[in-house]
Amino acid sequence: MGDWEGLADRALAGDAPTREEALGVLRCPDEELLALLQAAYRVRRRFHGNRVKLHILENALSGLCPEDCSFCSQSRVATGEVEKYRLISKEEMLSAARQAKESGAWKYCMVTATRGPSDPQLDQICDAVREIKEKVGIRVCTSLGILKPGQAEKLKAAGVDRFNHNLETSERHFASICTTHTWEDRVRTIGYVKEAGLEACCGGIVGMGETDEDLVDMALTLRRLEVTSIPINFLNPRPGTPLGSQPVQDPRRCLKVLCMVRFANPSRDIRVAGGREVNLRSMQVMALYPCNSIFTDGYLTTGGNRHEEDLQLIRDAGFELHRE
Ligand code: SF4
């Protein structure tokens, strides 16, 4: 039996797992999964109690990205059917933020499928955020791609709370999933975000042909970058993308990954993100033991549980919404 409780004690004392320990979590025998989840839950509970943060996504500019990320249905190389439209209006952003607030969301996340924002796009988004903060009063996260120097400061001044930019995978594996920008470009943007005083949201995707070592490297890099929030997505292979025929993950494997990320990043917001429904299937609720956050009402180009279903799932397991 692995020493999962010992790993939890060490996480609570502020120590990182070694690479071997983190690999051991990913390779936990299935018969020890409940013990592993119990240990990860002890760490989650110390920092986040039994509360769950709901995030709602808005795809504010869709299907026109010039980049070639191989998992993404909005990339220039994807051939599947996906809605294409330019940046939505300020009124549409406001209305989506209002709806998110009414659904009990803790944060409204505005995403654009771009390499990075142009200055006019950034100004339009900042303008909308100022009004959302004033009239709706909800936390706002933006995910706008690679930032140029000075852009994060503009977002901060407009009232944006958090900026999302995922590492997606390990440094080693990144070049196999994207050739139009680098892993270092992504790390640089996270640096700009933090320097501007925004919270950094940064995670990755599991199921893109990476090794266990890649997952451990990503989790330990996220620890080193001291990001506030970590979304862990599980690939939902999209038809017409280069990764469209990858298999989905085994639900028990997903849970082990989430536990490993929790031990590596004990106090952080860890979100079981895109692909939750198709990868975890009937085991979705178990992800709330290592994770304290979920997306609800679907994703950028794929559907998902409606928020009523997720509220039920949260309540049924004895968790509660994080509201303040
Ligand atoms: S940069 Fe973002 S939107 Fe563009 S292809 Fe990559 S993941 Fe998709």
Give the separation between CA 321 and CA 77, rounded to whole angstroms. 39
Calculate how far, in angstroms, residue 45's C-alpha sits from the geometric centre of ligand 1: 34
- Where does the chain show beta strands of DSSP type E? 51-61, 107-112, 139-143, 162-164, 199-201, 204-206, 229-234, 269-272, 293-296, 320-321
Residue 127 is predicted with a pLDDT of 96
Calculate how far, in angstroms, residue 140's C-alpha sits from the geometric centre of ligand 1: 20
Give the separation between CA 318 and CA 308, rounded to whole angstroms. 16
Calculate how far, in angstroms, residue 91's C-alpha sits from the geometric centre of ligand 1: 25
Tokens of 209: 């042909």
67, 71, 205, best to mutate for ligand 1 pocket (most atoms within 8 Å of CB): 67
pLDDT band at residue 237 under the 50/70/90 scheme:
very high
Listing DSSP states for 284-317 in one string gives GGGGGTT-SEEEES--SSS----HHHHHHHHHHT
Residue 104 is predicted with a pLDDT of 80
Domains in the chain: boundaries? 19-321
Lowest mean pLDDT among 174-183, 288-297, 301-310: 301-310
57, 62, 69, best to mutate for ligand 1 pocket (most atoms within 8 Å of CB): 69
Calculate how far, in angstroms, residue 270's C-alpha sits from the geometric centre of ligand 1: 22
Residue 166 is predicted with a pLDDT of 96
Residue-wise pLDDT for 7-35, tens only, equals 999 999 999 999 999 999 999 999 999 99
Residue 71 is predicted with a pLDDT of 94
Q: Catalytic pick from 69, 126, 178, 291?
A: 69
> For the residues 263-272, what does the mean pLDDT come to?
97
Atom number, ligand 1, closest to the C-alpha of residue 73: 8
Q: How many CA atoms lie within 13 A of 323 on its CB side?
A: 7
> For the residues 49-65, what does the mean pLDDT come to?
90
Q: Note the pTM of the prediction, 2 decimals.
A: 0.95
Residue 56 is predicted with a pLDDT of 84
Atom number, ligand 1, closest to the C-alpha of residue 113: 3
Nearest to 314 by CA among 274, 272, 262, 275: 272
Give the separation between CA 4 and CA 32, rounded to whole angstroms. 9
Lowest mean pLDDT among 90-104, 194-208, 246-260: 90-104
Q: Where does ligand 1 bind, in terms of residues with CB under 6 Å?
A: 65, 67, 69, 72, 74-75, 113, 145
The CATH number given to 19-321 is 3.20.20.70
> How close are the terminal C-alpha atoms of the chain, in Å?
39
> For the residues 114-120, what does the mean pLDDT come to?
95
Arithmetic mean of pLDDT over the chain? 95
pLDDT band at residue 103 under the 50/70/90 scheme:
confident
The residue whose C-alpha atom lies closest to atom 3 belonging to ligand 1 is 113
pLDDT band at residue 120 under the 50/70/90 scheme:
very high
pLDDT band at residue 228 under the 50/70/90 scheme:
very high
The residue whose C-alpha atom lies closest to atom 5 belonging to ligand 1 is 75
